[in-house]
Amino acid sequence: MSSGQLRLNTATGEWVIYAPTRRKRPQELCQQTQQNPSISQACPFCDNGNYSEPVIFDLPHPSKSGWLTRVIPNKYPVLMPCGNTERISQGIYLSMQGYGKHEVVIESPDHDQTPGTMTVEEVAAIIETYHQRYLALMADPKTMMAIIFRNHKKEAGASQPHPHSQIIATSFVPRHRRWQEEEALRYFDRWHRCVYCDMLAYESEEGKRVIEENDSFVAFVPYAAQVPCEVWIMPKQHKADFGNISELEKADFAVIFQSILCRLYRKLDNPAYNYVINTASRYKGEEPQLHWYCQILPRLTTPAGFELGAGISINPSIPEEDAAFLRDD
């Protein structure tokens, strides 16, 4: 099982990934408070020529030597590009090899940066990298979806402080994502409209939860936010697949994305957070009921027993008040 394995929970229909390479993660046995190591301490993502993994992609600096963003394979991958996607039956159980790809997007050569302190141009470089790598990963016919995400700080799951995010390409669609797609389809069958377009229109008209907007995007705290100061950034034009983003939309996305991350950095004192780009899985890119968006989840509270057992979020904050707090400059 050295290349990993997936097993299906027969009772819930959820796949579980077994990734033995993750046992080597440097923080596994270390519970100390994370400190920002200096470049001299051989940060694995600093531009010191000591990468243990080959460079997959470089976005060069437009006006001087060097790079803006760089992509390398994850040294401790969740899934690996070997094996196949055939299902294996074992009695009442189902499994398959852990096929997929796991990449690290090094967002800047500057060790002490974060998207909340970057310029719009630097954030635009990250989005351009996401788009190019997303298209490349989805070109593999065995890839069923590509998940772009960022873990900021140890409390949100980051193992290194150097600014970076990740992309995981999977050979299956997780049950959670299928559930979202199915809910959107049920809404569309009932009303013949995209639920996300309806949410966007309502939020824009009411305005109470909108933080800011531009020609292409609206950023708002969702009506049923799971956590304090959760933010969705949603394109105004209906598109199911992030891969179909236009050049103009990429520029507008960079502006509003940088602004929201800067607001979180300033107003919440550089909080731990996760963000993910929610986009259609393979074969769903042209579906009329799906709409891609970016979801940002600050880690300001810790889920406890009831939340984990019941699968229900408890949010001590009111979305309208959070939006006003983030909107106020």
Provide the token pair at 136: 């490349």
Residue 86 φ then ψ, to 5°: -70, 140
The alpha carbon torsion through 264, 265, 269, 272 (nearest 10 deg) reads: 80
Give me the pLDDT at residue 139, please.
Answer: 97
How far is C-alpha 226 from the chain's CA centre?
A: 16
User: Is 30 annotated as a binding-site member?
Assistant: no
Range 187-327: architecture per CATH: 2-Layer Sandwich (3.30)
Give me the pLDDT at residue 252, please.
Answer: 98
User: Is 262 annotated as a binding-site member?
Assistant: no
Catalytic-residue membership of 164? yes
Q: For the chain (length 329 residues), average pLDDT per consecutive 10?
A: 80 89 60 49 74 87 89 93 90 93 96 95 98 98 96 94 96 94 97 98 97 98 97 98 98 98 97 97 95 97 90 93 94
Give me the pLDDT at residue 49, please.
Answer: 54
Give me the pLDDT at residue 25, please.
Answer: 56
Give me the pLDDT at residue 21, please.
Answer: 78
Give me the pLDDT at residue 1, please.
Answer: 43
User: Is 194 annotated as a binding-site member?
Assistant: no
Give me the pLDDT at residue 65, please.
Answer: 84
Q: Where in the chain is the domain with CATH 3.30.428.10?
A: 5-22+40-175, 187-327
Q: How far apart are CA 172 and CA 79, in angstroms?
A: 11
Give me the pLDDT at residue 199, please.
Answer: 98
Residue 281 has what DSSP assignment? Answer: P
User: Is 111 annotated as a binding-site member?
Assistant: yes
Q: Which of 200, 202, 278, 288 is nearest to 239 (CA)?
A: 288
> Which of 3.30.428.10, 1.10.1130.10, 3.30.360.10, 3.40.50.720 is the CATH number of 5-22+40-175?
3.30.428.10
Q: From the candidates 102, 131, 152, 164, which is the catalytic residue?
A: 164
